Amino acid sequence: MKIQRELGVPPRPDVPPVYTRRAGWQAVRGDAAWAGRSIGFVPTMGALHAGHEALLARARAENERVVLSIFVNPTQFNDPTDLAKYPRTLEADLALARSYVDAVLAPEPEELYPDAYRYRVTENELSRRWEGAHRPGHFDGVLTVVLKLFNLVRPTRAYFGEKDWQQLLLVRGMVQALLLPIEVVPCATVREADGLAMSSRNRRLAPADRARAPEFARALRESPDAPTAAARLRAAGFEVDYVEDADGVRMGAVRLGDVRLIDNCRLPAAR
């Protein structure tokens, strides 16, 4: 694999074990073979692509053990239809991940939510802006499942893509607030050749929308300010949820048909 070669990661031909039950994984995690080892963790919802592969490759290069989670988290979806449409591609995901990981967690919802969704992690400031304003409760679901996975995996480092910029900030903030001994490692957004940020949602774009989609990144990057970027996107046929500048980053969320895309870029002074 190209990313593997670039980072000098040796091939791992063995198929990693997949754990669907907490008890089975916890027995392995408590084994002496894992004691004292540095552990890199990549939490995902599956439908893996080259962006996820970059996270896995970096985790492999920086740690003695690597754990991947594949879990479509129901508590971070506002729309049940969106949850139902989210692609489940476990066999393809395992084929992509096998060269990088020592274990895969792929639990059923009841394994991660034995409380029947009664308890959750809430952040009451940043989580209400931008994505949070358009997807109420979304980040409660994200932070809750990430904390549960952190408790199960007990990683040294956890790897998150910068495409989900607000999520990255919130996870990093949660780790600091709850005094978790975990390093949150940000990883650069991986893009298609035409500049579109890689996302599992891209495969749902209609052909005409896929052809239009790269304008999203261009508008964010080239516009002098956020309102101009939003106007440019609307003129190009996008439905704009928001475009905002904050702390040296321009963030946006748009819709093409029934597919919602997010992206961001560093502002010139911050590059």
Question: What does the pLDDT look like over 154-173, one tens digit per residue?
Answer: 999 999 999 999 999 999 99
> And the tokens for 136?
């109420």
Alpha helices in 37-121, H assignment, sequence order: 50-62, 80-85, 90-97, 109-112
Query: Residue 53 in 3-state DSSP?
Result: helix
Separation CA 176–CA 184 (nearest Å):
10
User: If you classify domain 2-187 with CATH, what class do you get?
Assistant: alpha beta
pLDDT of residue 81: 83
Which of 49, 52, 134, 138 is catalytic? The answer is 52
Is pLDDT above 60 for 7? no
Alpha-carbon distance of 99 to 60, in angstroms, equals: 9
What is the C-alpha separation between 173 and 160, in angstroms, rounded? Answer: 13
What is the structure's pLDDT at 12? 55
**CATH H superfamily, domain 200-265:** Pantoate-beta-alanine ligase, C-terminal domain (3.30.1300.10)
Mean pLDDT of 167-193: 98
The two tokens of residue 57 are: 């490759």
49 catalytic residue (yes or no)? no
Stretch among 27-41, 81-95, 172-186 having the lowest mean pLDDT: 81-95
Average pLDDT over residues 30-44: 98
In the chain, where the domains are located: 2-187, 200-265
In angstroms, the CA 224 to CA 227 distance is: 9
What's the pLDDT score for residue 251? 98
- The pair of structure tokens assigned to 38 is 């540095």
Confidence of residue 270 (pLDDT cuts 50, 70, 90): low
Task: Report the chain's mean pLDDT, rounded to a whole number.
Answer: 94
Q: What is the pTM of this model?
A: 0.92
Among the residues of 86-130, which ranges form H helices? 90-97, 109-112
Distances (CA, A) of 208 to 42, 212, 223: 33, 6, 23
